[in-house]
A and B are shown apart, each in its own frame.
Chain A
Amino acid sequence: MKIAPMQVKFSYLDRQFSNIDTYFSDLKKFVISGDFTLGNALHEFERQFAALCRIPFAIGVGSGTDALVLSLKVLGIGSGDEVITTPTTFIATVGAIVQAGAKPVFVDSEDGFVIDSSKVEAKLTKRTKAIIPVHYTGNVADMPTLERIARKHNLAIIEDACQAIGAEIDGKPVGSWGVTACFSLHPLKNLNVWGDGGVIVTRSEDIAEKLKLYRNHGLENRDEVSIFGWNSRLDTLQAVIGNRLIREVGFITDQRIANATYYDDAFRNLQDYIHVPKRRSNVKHVYHLYVIRVEKRDQLLAYLQKNGIEAKVHYPIPVHLQRAARYLGYKEGDFPVSESDAKSIITLPAHQHLTREELDYTVDKVRNFYKERTANTAEQICGNRK
């Protein structure tokens, strides 16, 4: 009898709702209330989110992408301006810069998949208005250095913290450096809702008030419009869900860190095949994605998937080499770290609901893959000698 392989899923959503009745009882109240737009549950969620981030103001918007677009617009960044970011990110970071009318300028990433702060100053021009460091995978960019650069050149920092809720550097939470920090509540994020959603946090009351205008058609009140704004409001329905899930963030983060540490330890004796990024002791990495660099990536990926492990690649094409980026004039070779990563990175499931058995199974399969290959290679060599 053939036993089906264990399934190790990338997404944990089907395991998230062990206590689904409480969500439905909240939803029932919500549906009957008719309080669907900028409702009470949203205000409650914004208070909770700000408290969680330890930043005074939080504004719920339509998505993480919208959070970035609105942050740029509120700072008056647009046509003719340049914004520094990295090609090692989800395309939305760059999509947002272009939506705002500005030009994205790329800086290569470093070992931890975040912007290489030592390469930023070389890319500054008199049109540079902002830096968008991405706390990619849940790691934190080198904010102290970036802050020094921003201050020296009078630039704004907008933190793309879409993957990094709860992350810290030197004990300071993400959102502590930027004029704003942008979060995504997309269903696959550490803190998620049941659809698209985003949050902007800021320490400035003035910016917070402006963002509330920008997300709601520029309406000062029902009838008066002071700026032409967007419609980008976090649905109150999603805030109802968020208000429950936000209580889980501590557990989610701790569990993901524990899973990542478990992998890190297990892969230590596979150094010939696997490069685990350097873990910085002053950073609390929240492992939205557990990404490592590996030998024979495509074969490993296929092998793991064949064995029921939903490994992925985030992402196989660096943003500057996307068709959408052609007009910017970048070419292969411009960002060697980002480009080489795109060929060697793999993402393993690390979500908070994985069992020890599933972690062990994943580690075993990775180990077996390299063991089998080594054996095969040895056999081949012997065979050739015959």
Chain B
Amino acid sequence: MSTPLLEVRDFVKHFPVSAGWFRPPEAVRAVDGVSFTLPRGKTLGLVGESGCGKSTLARLVLRLIEPTSGRAWLSVDGAPRELTALDPEALRRTRRHMQIVFQDPYASLDPRMTVGSIVGEPTAIFGELDRAARRARTDELLLKVGLEPRFASRYPHQFSGGQRQRIGIARALALAPSLVVLDEPVSALDVSIQAQILGLLQELKAELGLTYLFIAHDLAVVRHISDEVAVMYLGRIVERASADELYARPLHPYTQALMSAAPIPDPAVERTRKKIILEGSPPSPRQRFMGCPFASRCPIAEPACSTEPVALVAVAPGHDVACRLVSGRAN
């Protein structure tokens, strides 16, 4: 196999938090030992509930925040470049190859900049094109995301949520990156607009040969757009497989519960299918787990699940699960 576009090894991010007066600070274990590879031209979907660490992981990949430990490589011009070892200037130069689209199209665009200057800013920063060429590039980008070039002189508030997300996508594509991180790109949008943006992302990927790291909490959306899907719980990947395999044969009890909880817009199906209702809420990410972090809510957990360490292991080709009961059954 050729070198993957992105490789992440053992990423850990702990945020220190005060535990109270006169007590040593504790750590929120937002990301707790995550590894994956992302082949060029593919889409890896990261799903999980709020607080599972998926957005932190995205920011670590782009080095918008520094990992506590772990390493990552991005393939640039065919050679892997270690992102976690780059000095600030080298990192700045590498950033053009990896861009991000944020969740909230209202907060992620500067209200005092015109659309033209928002989309043209990355090219201006990298100083590659003169003013006229930059203008032409901006027009081309706006057309690519389905907006009219004459909109370049308008301001973000003149656009709807879906249109703003198109502007955010155009900005991310300005420097022709190879990796685009999409952090919940459709969850702030109305249902009738979500499908427009998903369709646009798929077209752009095919046309420009992009690679996506797609983060979302909506399982149906992630399955729709991803080649491979990783499910996260409390800072760890608990299951990973191709989208078809994962949804046809979810093995981790958490994945199964998550899938059964995702509502299907069809009363005939929704009212007859079996639902797994989990007890309680996820435990605090400040907690340290000896064993499986899901054990406290798991419908099939045994006492040993809370004490024995658990690792992500392959139970079938291309299908990894972090559950001692499931991997025990497979062997």
B is a partner of A? no
